[in-house]
């Protein structure tokens, strides 16, 4: 038969015809088998949403899990049903809408009617409905109404990490916080190309510790309530790597629940807000003075009386009215002494130092939300004098934290990060900004302040805490309001081998009977920081110790090279 088919055999024509028919039938069978196999494969493995429209009709794509530094999940995708219609297949759009409203009474009637009557092949009706709603609609048996399983972002801890995580839109695309950062690393391109749906991706590991985050937030809520503050903020960093271990800004929000981004709760004041940091900023002035080589711990400055610049006057909150040594200026937080110390080095040197410490430029981290510092347009002696003690320059709190980290870690300025980072990787991005001996002197001053200065209420036995208070008057209608304070406290521990820094800030705290009518930092932010140290130190594997060195002994114990790194 085969020989006859190809004309090699001049035999019976009937045999040749039958052979050709059989060959054609076999070819058709092979083609149909191949098509059936491909359709079966697509039915089993493909995402039905992948064939739907793009743009406004896009099906949500998968995102990588996000885990904290200990491997605990803080963001994950789950499958959730969404309701769609095929208007071309609908028999009676009005009847279909009436049935759907019985199950989904919150459905936008006018918009849904418009979509059902559009005559299109596909139209969304409601994204992310519950399984119970899906079953109820399915029982209605409406032709042209169907469901798609989509990826929905879930945050198991709710508001606990909200300002860091940010959020996603209805198509599961990052719109703020770390979720937006993840899209910026290439996930958005995968979405557009259609390759991110159900794609198994490596988890993103954060530097954050959820155990510490819970403890910090809990103490902040207590402090905000106790002192009737408008807002409360805190951040915990690892001083040797720049890792952010915890960040809380109250009020916060639940990223699992849609809300209004313009709401006050959505503002992360630690990165997006800029503030005059008050006396906590004095630490930079002392670091500048000691690093210059022209001023030492034995230097002294005249703090008798106020300083006058035309109609402006600079005075001390509790004036000592005497000549003060550098440590004494730090302990009593003298504005006059700090201003004179900075002015003795010159305005240009002051600007250059703050520039080097990253205080005059926008701080860039993985969070896309950040603000430019507010810097004086014309910077003269009066500006340097006020900036020396924390007024006249507004920065993001995390920006100031980065600078203080360098004062206690041996002199390295390390950009902060929300992503887990090794010590080796930290050193690759670290920049030397202070001499090692300057860092040793700053550790001495911070510890001395906790022993006998304004930071005594932050002392926690066994943990060798050091720190600096800050109380700034807020600007209202262009003037400083004496009854509206922003208090802050920077705590570092343990001071003999610094590991962690905590910044606590309270917005307009009120005096209580326990504070004897005072609302300054030493009475609210400092004790709050002490409570946080007491709670998180064990979680960070730092045990309390006995027979710890005092500040004077600490000064004679410079950090070893191994300790600095």
Residues acting as catalytic residues: 279
Residues 103, 175: contact at Cβ < 8 Å? no
Residues 287, 438: contact at Cβ < 8 Å? yes
Closest CA to 505 of 215, 248, 218, 161: 248
Strands 431-432 and 123-126: unpaired
Residues 426, 399: contact at Cβ < 8 Å? no
Residue 274 DSSP SS3: coil
Surface-to-core class of residue 36, CB atoms within 10 Å of its CB (0-12 exposed, 13-18 middle, 19+ buried) = exposed
Residues 85, 144: contact at Cβ < 8 Å? yes
Give the count of beta carbons closer than 10 Å to the beta carbon of residue 493.
Answer: 31
Beta strands in 352-398 (DSSP E): 394-395
Report d(CA 54, CA 80) in Å as an integer: 19
Report d(CA 146, CA 276) in Å as an integer: 56
Phi, psi of 486 (to 5 degrees): -115, 110
Residue 210 DSSP SS3: helix
Helix (H) or strand (E) holding 424: helix 423-429
User: 205 in the Ramachandran plot: left (φ > 0), alpha (ψ -120 to 50) or beta?
Assistant: beta
Side-chain-side CA neighbours of 565 within 13 Å: the count stands at 12
Long-range contacts of 172-175 (CB under 8 A, 24+ apart): 172/60, 172/61, 172/62, 172/63, 172/77, 173/60, 173/61, 174/63
Residue 545 CB contacts under 8 Å (≥ 6 apart), including other chains: 462, 463, 464, 494
Report d(CA 320, CA 140) in Å as an integer: 82
Report d(CA 276, CA 278) in Å as an integer: 6
**CA distances in angstroms from 77 to 150, 177, 193, listed in the order given:** 9, 17, 20
* Residues in a beta bridge with 238: 500
Phi, psi of 238 (to 5 degrees): -90, 115
Residue 132 CB contacts under 8 Å (≥ 6 apart), including other chains: none
Measure CA 486 to chain center: 22
């Amino acid at each position: 038969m085969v020989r006859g088919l190809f004309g090699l055999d001049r035999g019976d024509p009937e045999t040749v015809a039958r052979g050709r028919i059989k060959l054609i039938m076999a070819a058709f069978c092979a083609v149909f088998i191949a098509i059936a196999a491909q359709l079966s494969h697509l039915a089993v493995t493909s995402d039905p949403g992948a064939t739907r429209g793009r743009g406004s009709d896009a099906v949500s794509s998968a995102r990588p899990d996000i885990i904290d530094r200990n491997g605990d999940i803080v963001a994950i995708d789950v499958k959730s049903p969404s309701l769609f219609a095929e208007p071309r297949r609908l028999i009676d759009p009005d009847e279909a809408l009436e049935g759907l409203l019985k199950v989904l009474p919150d459905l936008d009637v006018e918009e849904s009617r418009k979509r059902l009557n559009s005559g299109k092949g596909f139209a969304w009706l409601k994204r992310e409905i519950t399984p119970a709603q899906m079953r109820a609609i399915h029982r209605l048996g409406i032709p042209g109404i169907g469901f798609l399983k989509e990826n929905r972002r879930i945050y198991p801890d709710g508001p606990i990490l909200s300002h860091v995580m940010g959020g996603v839109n209805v198509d599961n695309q990052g719109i703020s916080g770390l979720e937006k950062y993840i899209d910026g690393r290439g996930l958005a391109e995968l979405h557009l190309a259609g390759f991110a749906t159900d794609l198994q991706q490596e988890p993103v590991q954060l530097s954050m510790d959820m155990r510490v985050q819970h403890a910090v937030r809990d103490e902040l809520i207590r402090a905000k309530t106790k002192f009737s503050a408008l807002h409360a903020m805190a951040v915990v960093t690892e001083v040797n790597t720049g890792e952010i271990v915890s960040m809380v800004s109250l009020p916060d929000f639940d990223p699992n629940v849609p809300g209004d981004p313009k709401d006050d709760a959505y503002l992360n004041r630690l990165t997006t807000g800029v503030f005059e940091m008050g006396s906590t900023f004095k630490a930079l002035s002392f670091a500048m003075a000691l690093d210059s080589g022209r001023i030492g711990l034995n230097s002294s400055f005249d703090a008798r009386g106020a300083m006058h610049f035309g109609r402006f006057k600079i005075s001390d909150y509790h004036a000592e009215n005497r000549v003060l040594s550098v440590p004494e200026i730090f302990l009593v937080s003298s504005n006059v002494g700090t201003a004179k110390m900075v002015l003795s080095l010159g305005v240009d040197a002051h600007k250059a130092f703050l520039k080097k410490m990253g205080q005059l430029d926008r701080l860039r981290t993985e969070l896309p939300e950040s603000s430019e510092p507010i810097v004086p347009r014309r910077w003269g002696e009066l500006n340097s004098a006020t900036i020396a003690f924390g007024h006249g320059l507004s920065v993001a709190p995390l920006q100031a934290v980065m600078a203080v980290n360098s004062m206690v870690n041996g002199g390295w300025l390390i950009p902060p990060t929300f992503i887990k980072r090794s010590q080796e990787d930290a050193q690759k991005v670290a920049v030397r900004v202070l001499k090692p001996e300057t860092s040793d002197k700053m550790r001495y001053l911070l510890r001395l302040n906790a022993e006998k200065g304004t930071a005594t209420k932050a002392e926690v036995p066994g943990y060798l805490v050091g720190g600096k208070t800050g109380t700034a008057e807020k600007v209202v209608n262009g003037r400083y309001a004496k009854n509206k304070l922003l208090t802050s406290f920077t705590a570092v521990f343990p001071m003999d081998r610094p590991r962690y820094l905590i910044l606590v800030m309270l917005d307009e705290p009120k005096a209580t009977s326990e504070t004897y009518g005072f609302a300054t930092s030493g009475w609210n932010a400092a004790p709050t920081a002490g409570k946080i140290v007491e709670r998180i130190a064990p979680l960070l594997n730092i045990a309390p110790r006995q027979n710890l060195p005092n500040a004077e002994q600490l000064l004679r114990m410079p950090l070893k090279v191994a300790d600095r790194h």
